[in-house]
Amino acid sequence: NLSKELVGKKVVVTAGGTQERIDPVRFIGNDSSGKMGYAVARAFLARGAEVTLISGPTKLTPPNNVKFISIESAAELQDQVIKNFATSDILVMAAAVADFKPVKQSKQKIKKDPTNDRWTLELTKNPDILQAVAKIKRLNQVTVGFAAETTDLINHATKKLCEKSLDLVVANDVSQPGVGFNVDTNQVTFISSDKTVESTELLTKSEIAELLVDKVIKKTAKSNSI
């Protein structure tokens, strides 16, 4: 029986991958299933929080009792995160945001050019949403990011913690079996702004989500007592 420590707290969770339109029938996507973010949303609900789930397209059914916002692109995700973060206590960015989007989005389906076997698609950088959030973050707001890495996990994740002014980074080595995209399990390292580093075993994404929420509860308790 979990206690409802987060009654009255507003949480924004992002989940799934963004889709960046090329034309009306094509997009650039990624392998994110949304499973980790949805598990985080459910774990916050279980502790009594009011949850807004902002999600890219997934095969999952959103939990009951969340405010559900569906997005496609990183730009739409950014708009919704900024809008909802202002009145929230906690933000968990589990979404896999595309780093780049096409410079132009064609209104018509792009046709094959019979005279050319190659086609170059020009991309431009998407905004870093957590960096934008860092600029408007208040002292009593808690922000959590994810870091999917294949090398030098702790160094890369610690850099993210600082650059994005995060309270907690959940880092996973996505080159390991059973870890990261599309599976029901995960093995993570929690890197906290208080410099603690804690690695878990291979657990279900629900179990990881519960550990994450426990850590956030400790941080909200601290920021409330300042």
Token representation of residue 101:
């989007």
Which of 76, 128, 207, 214 contacts ligand C5P by CB under 6 A? Answer: 128
226 contact partners, CB below 8 Å, separation of at least 6: 139, 140
Beta bridge partners of 11: 51, 90
Binding to ligand C5P by residue 13, rule CB under 6 A?
Answer: no
Instruction: Count how many Cα atoms sit within 13 Å of the Cα of residue 189 in the half-sphere of its side chain.
Output: 19
Binding to ligand C5P by residue 186, rule CB under 6 A?
Answer: no
Active-site residue 30, yes or no?
A: yes
Contact stretch for ligand C5P (CB under 6 A) within 106-114, 121-129, 135-143, 212-220 = 121-129
Phi and psi at residue 69, to the nearest 5°:
-125, 125
> Mask 197-226, x = binds ligand C5P (CB under 6 A)?
------------------------------
**Distance between CA atoms of residues 45 and 53, nearest Å:** 11
Whichever of 147 and 213 has its CB closer to ligand C5P, that residue is 147
> Mask 145-184, x = binds ligand C5P (CB under 6 A)?
xxx------------x------------------------
Report CA-CA distances (Å) from 175 to 153, 171, 207.
11, 12, 21
DSSP state, 6? T
Binding to ligand C5P by residue 41, rule CB under 6 A?
Answer: no
Contact stretch for ligand C5P (CB under 6 A) within 82-90, 106-114, 143-151, 190-198 = 143-151
Counted residue by residue, the chain has a size of 226
- Among 215, 222, 224, which residue's Cα sits nearest to residue 92? 215
> Mask 68-87, x = binds ligand C5P (CB under 6 A)?
------x-------------
**Residue 55: burial class (beta carbons within 10 Å; 0-12, 13-18, 19+):** buried
Q: Which residues are catalytic?
A: 30
Contact set with ligand C5P (CB under 6 A): 74, 93, 95, 97, 126, 128-130, 145-147, 160
Give the annotated binding-site residues for CTP: 99, 109, 127-130, 146, 160, 164
Residue ranges for the known binding site are: 99, 109, 127-130, 146, 160, 164
